[in-house]
Amino acid sequence: MPELPEVETVRDGVARHALNRTIARAAVLSDRTSRRYLGGRLALGDALHDRRFDAAVRRGKYLWLTLDGRADDADTALLVHLGMSGQLLVRDQVADPARHLRARLEFADGGALDFVDQRTFGYLTLEPLVPTPDGAPGGLGSDVAGVPAPVAHIARDLLDPALDRAAVSRRIRTKRTAIKRALLDQTVVSGVGNIYADEALWRARVHPERACDELPARAVNRVLACAAEVMAEALAQGGTSFDELYVNVNGASGYFTRFLHSYGREGQPCSRCGSLIVRERFMNRSSYFCPRCQRRPRSS
DNA sequence: CCATAATCCTGTACGC
DNA sequence: TGCGTACAGGATTATG
């Protein structure tokens, strides 16, 4: 499941292998993949014809590829969200279509960029860039102070040099909700999904149901620091491939799965204290935590 | 405005 | 063996 480290791994791969190459043909094969683009899948493919990407940029779990200069739409980007199972794969040659191939961009030099997505929560769309309020770069990968319009409400992420982490901490402490909910709220801080939320809370020794407005500032700061730390470490391992739906642009899995301490480890001993990791329903999904290291709040 | 529930989707794992 | 069901969950949309 692609969260920040996985999307960043993909962004890096695209930046290395897919920039400044002319797109000779582009085809979006599924209406669902282009559902965010009002012109429809055929127009989306047509719009990419004979164009090139000149940067690959990421904020949180959003990735966008900026189109090279053309007077009428120089500030336009192909916005990519991988959803649950989206993959961008760089092909040296046009290969046989993968089972869930949703779009293919063929380069004039013979290679291709494939978008494969089993569960179809991912999408592609073309979007104008809008200025960032603070004038800082819109995301990692470009100096341009712009983001695609649908990304304007998404907060900066924990690996963004322009993030004001102290302000995020203050905002979290005003929220009347559980800390894990706040971590997963992409308008508060972006890039954290279920896996890294659980891992960050385990590291910080904070129970996922702890109320934001009852946590000491120190604890919230610790959670944010741990989240940044665990995602940086995961990035260094190429991300987490928990269920094989996440791979990099070359089709390789990430190696961080073996370093997980809580996520997916129900019934296994906590690597810190030996208590058995428990799993609970939370927000229509699962929370994994150590019942001894991460003390449950009295209420709720 | 804020918090939360419902919703989209497909493959896999399981119980009967 | 096969069928039905639960489950995985990011982000938008709807509802309270």
What sign for the dihedral angle of Cα A115, A86, A81, A239? negative
Nucleotides on chain B that have an atom closer than 7 A to a protein CB are 2-11
E strand or H helix that includes residue A204? helix A194-204
Residues facing strand B, Cβ within 7 A: A 32, 84, 99-100, 118-121, 175-178, 181, 283-284
Cα–Cα distance list, A16 to A90, A188, A238, A249 (Å): 10, 30, 15, 10
Radius of gyration of chain A (CA): 20
Q: Which residues contact A216 (CB under 8 A, 6 or more apart)?
A: none
* C1'-nearest nucleotide to the CA of A151: C11
Catalytic residue among A2, A5, A137, A148: A2
- Calculate the CA A131 to chain-centre distance: 21
CA angle A158, A162, A166 (to 5 degrees): 65
> Does the pLDDT of residue A217 top 60, yes or no?
yes
Would you place residue A300 in the very low, low, confident or very high pLDDT band (cuts 50, 70, 90)?
Answer: very low
> Does the pLDDT of residue A159 top 50, yes or no?
yes
Percentage, residues of chain A above pLDDT 70? 98
Sequence letter at residue A264: G
Query: Would residue A180 show up in a list of annotated catalytic residues for this protein?
Result: no
| pLDDT given for residue A299 in this prediction | 60
- How many Cα atoms within 13 Å fall on the side-chain side of residue A171? 14
Would you place residue A210 in the very low, low, confident or very high pLDDT band (cuts 50, 70, 90)?
Answer: very high
| pLDDT given for residue A72 in this prediction | 67
Reported as a single tens digit per residue, the pLDDT across A172-199 is 999 999 999 999 999 999 999 999 999 9
Q: How far is the CA of A167 from the C1' of B11 (A)?
A: 41
The model's pTM is 0.96
Find the residue closest to B9 using CA and C1' atoms: A119
Percentage, residues of chain A above pLDDT 90? 81
| pLDDT given for residue A74 in this prediction | 66
Catalytic residue among A11, A61, A171, A180: A61
> Does the pLDDT of residue A39 top 50, yes or no?
yes
Question: Which of residues 13 to 72 on A have a Cβ less than 7 angstroms from any strand C atom?
Answer: 60-62
Would you place residue A282 in the very low, low, confident or very high pLDDT band (cuts 50, 70, 90)?
Answer: confident
Q: How far is the CA of A1 from the C1' of C7 (A)?
A: 14
Determine how β-strand A23-28 pairs with β-strand A101-107: antiparallel
| pLDDT given for residue A202 in this prediction | 95
Question: SS3 of A58, please?
Answer: strand
Find the residue closest to B3 using CA and C1' atoms: A177
Would you place residue A124 in the very low, low, confident or very high pLDDT band (cuts 50, 70, 90)?
Answer: very high
Report whether A129 contacts A137 (CB < 8 A).
Answer: no
> Does the pLDDT of residue A71 top 90, yes or no?
no
**DSSP-derived secondary structure letter, A123:** E
Find the residue closest to B6 using CA and C1' atoms: A284
CA angle A136, A130, A54 (to 5 degrees): 80
